[in-house]
Amino acid sequence: MEAVPQAVDPRRAAEHGSAVMRLVDEIFPLVEGFYVDLHRNPELSYQEHRTARAVAEWLSRAGYEVATGVGGTGVVGVLRNGEGPTVLLRGDMDALPVEEKTGLPYASTAHGVDGEGNDVPIMHACGHDVHTACLVGTADLLAGSRDRWSGTLMVVAQPAEEMIDGATGMLADGLYTRFGRPDIALAQHVGPQPAGMLVHRAGVIMGASTTVRVRVFGTGGHGSQPHATVDPVVIAANIVTRLQTIVAREINPSEMAVVTVGMLRAGTKSNIIPDEAYLEVNTRAHNDAVLDRVHASIERIVRAEAEASGAPREPEVTRVQEAGVTRNEPDQARSLAATHRAYFGDPYVIDLPEPFTGSEDFGEFGLPGDPDPIPCVLWFVGGTPHDVWSEAPGETPFEKLAGVPGNHSPFFAPDREPTLRAGLAALTLGALTYLGRPDAPLDHAGAATAEQRPIAVDEAPGPAPIEEPCNEDDDEDEKEGESTQRADMDVLLGDDEERRESGRYPGADEHPSGDEDGPRESPRHAGGMDELLDPPPPAHGPTRGTETGPSESFGMPEPTGPAYSAPPPSGPPISAPPPPPDSTPYPDPDDPPYRL
């Protein structure tokens, strides 16, 4: 794999980001409105027609070359801006068959039909609405500040991440042959950490996952004469119990593995012994060899239990969904973490000590197994409201993570404003790390107003730019201690008492820093991970579903800022009235914590 062409060092990329993010207050109400619309109108995997149409409309208005229907319902936007590398930014669009219980005023009440013809509730319980809103917002910001970067931006709105095959489908549909091969692929995922926090990890960041379907056969009959049958329900029950011994007795305790039977179905009536039973087993590991061992054990146990019960036929064991580990290219992961630290400040960017057990198909964009793979980097953006985090049981960050609503929970409700603002900044900075022009001026910011003009490098507070990029060694990251983040992060991390009283945040008509002569330094904290996460940074924006919906900015006139800002699309909405007043967005802190 050839070295990725990195245009600027982390400090310089952060300076570009500070300039570009001056545009954020002009488009943020549109991005926030787009997010609320997506959350209220979720769509299942490969059914993201309305979402895809909205993304395509936004990208078209921002000046991108747009193609739809890629890999089913995928959307690709390409913006060519001179010589330079090609950077792929990916966001996923699909939602889950989960009934929302957040109590948010814009909670989903949508229903749809799944792949098996069942009517199911639908909810954005994994944050893909955040990903998509940040994707189009970032595309808009970069389209409006093309004097700051050079190269090609490839924006990919992916379908069916929850099916773990949407990325493969887009690749099979000619993503790289039709639109060009990127030099690097970047993505982010909202997580249960405190809202506004970024989480990085070099190497493996998410595990491999497989779904195994098992069909066992018996001989049916009357429930009053079990001796005349071979009961597949009993066979299935024995399989479920025995599968739990794989991790406990066959996998080295130093390795991570998960075996979960998430579906067990058999029979139609209590006094009828059925002919067959059906199971779906989900497996996860951080190591391909461990996953192979798990699958071999599953097949051995299933066949042995069927034979021990005298089943008339061999069971069927089929792998139906597979995703490899999500592996961040180490040098590029460290470079991006250094850029984010230079912008956000050290306390708001942490390194994950070990991979998550969740799985993603984003790694497929890196062409794993190819002789010339493409480096990929994925990071997490925290979304938990800060007051919810503070009230969560536990003394350590890891204990609190187990006590807050996480991904796939019906109570999953990211704190809208700080999560979206952090996601917009993180993804924009990611692109500028590779596309930023070293010779770009620092005395203007695209279409920003005079009041929003960033100060020049020699006027900027904080340390001088570092001498060399920080992608060689881990200890190099320590050189980027001071933050260059500006007005947009003051809104996110500063004292918001005045905002809570007024019910609004600074918009395009008010300098976010509170100082019309120029931006001020962002808050700084000196502690480590424990000090950062417990207690977390102060909360901003609506933090509970019981608060009212979109911020007061929705009542403001439509911004006139960047030349390529696009209003939310106007497709037919799915009816979504507010939930009942007595809905509970989060469990009571005194009750046992909600767990996945």
Write down the residue that tokens 């996110």 correspond to: 492
Angle between helices 128-143 and 416-435 (to 10 degrees): 50
Decide if 87 contacts 186 (C-beta within 8 A): yes
Q: Is 161 a catalytic residue?
A: yes
Write down the residue that tokens 């230079």 correspond to: 342
Structure tokens, 593: 């914590």
Decide if 192 contacts 389 (C-beta within 8 A): no
Task: Classify strands 349-351 and 198-200 as parallel, antiparallel or unpaired.
Answer: parallel
Q: Which of 92, 94, 417, 488 is catalytic?
A: 94
Decide if 415 contacts 539 (C-beta within 8 A): yes
* Region of residue 361 (left: phi > 0; alpha: psi -120 to 50; beta: else): alpha
578/109 Cα distance (integer angstroms): 8
DSSP label at 392?
Answer: S
DSSP of 416-435:
HHHHHHHHHHHHHHHHHHHH
The one-letter amino acid at 227: H
Residue 426: how many other CB atoms lie within 10 Å: 25
Query: Counting beta carbons within 10 angstroms of the beta carbon of residue 384, is it exposed (0 to 12), middle (13 to 18) or buried (19 or more)?
Result: buried
49/52 Cα distance (integer angstroms): 5
State which H helix or E strand residue 88 sits in. strand 86-92
Decide if 122 contacts 98 (C-beta within 8 A): yes
Residue 160: how many other CB atoms lie within 10 Å: 25
* Region of residue 502 (left: phi > 0; alpha: psi -120 to 50; beta: else): alpha
189/34 Cα distance (integer angstroms): 18
**169: phi then psi, degrees, rounded to nearest 5:** -65, -40
DSSP label at 356?
Answer: B
DSSP of 206-256:
E-EEEEEEEEEE-B-EETT-GGGSB-HHHHHHHHHHHHHHHHHHHS-TTS-
Decide if 561 contacts 23 (C-beta within 8 A): yes
Structure tokens, 83: 């010589």
For 291, residues 6+ apart whose C-beta sits below 8 A from its C-beta are 208, 210, 257, 283, 284, 285
Structure tokens, 40: 């209220």
* HSE-up of residue 384 (Cα within 13 Å, Cβ side): 28
Q: Is 94 a catalytic residue?
A: yes
DSSP label at 459?
Answer: G
Q: Which of 15, 129, 161, 329 is catalytic?
A: 161
Write down the residue that tokens 């306390």 correspond to: 347
Active site members: 94, 161
